[in-house]
Structure 1
């Protein structure tokens, strides 16, 4: 059986903090992520929300080049 298993640990507390941010602000944050490959501000896609000592972190991919990007939200 070749079934891919997602081993990502979901942080319910981080997701709760993320959803507490107004939707319009969340959309702005998603579109304001720095991509070191594109050397520009891009939109993050396919992201997960994780807890961090500094707040929460969005970890995902650049919409343009698909490289890994992250955004810390304090």
Structure 2
């Protein structure tokens, strides 16, 4: 998947995201549930923040453009 532009991340979220291996990041981006499509999709046009210690990605479904989100829990 090609990302058109760099996502907008808070500094803390950028640090956490960059700490993950590239293959893990790719799997996360292509494994987001869309309630409209009712299956796993790829997230696009996403941003990242830290909420309650977890990394939260918020963006759009690549198929229907519905709002989607993915939480990566702090371990």
What TM-score bracket applies, with the shorter chain setting the length? 0.7 to 0.9
What does the per-residue CA deviation read over 1:22-72, in whole Å, with 9 as the maximum and x for residues that have no partner? 011000000000000000000000000111115101100000000100000
Given the superposition, is the C-alpha separation of residues 54 and 35 from structure 1 closer, same or farther in structure 2, using an over 3 Å criterion? farther
SS at match of 2:36: coil
What residue is the counterpart of 2:19 in the other structure?
20
- Cα RMSD between the aligned structures? 1.3
Q: Which residue of 2 aligns with 1:72?
A: 71
TM-score (norm 2): 0.83
Q: Which residue of 1 aligns with 2:4?
A: none
Question: Which is greater in Rg?
Answer: 1
Runs of 4+ in 1 over 2 A off after TM superposition: none
Structure 2, gaps ≥5 residues long: 1-7
User: How many aligned residue pairs are there?
Assistant: 66
2:41 aligns with: 42
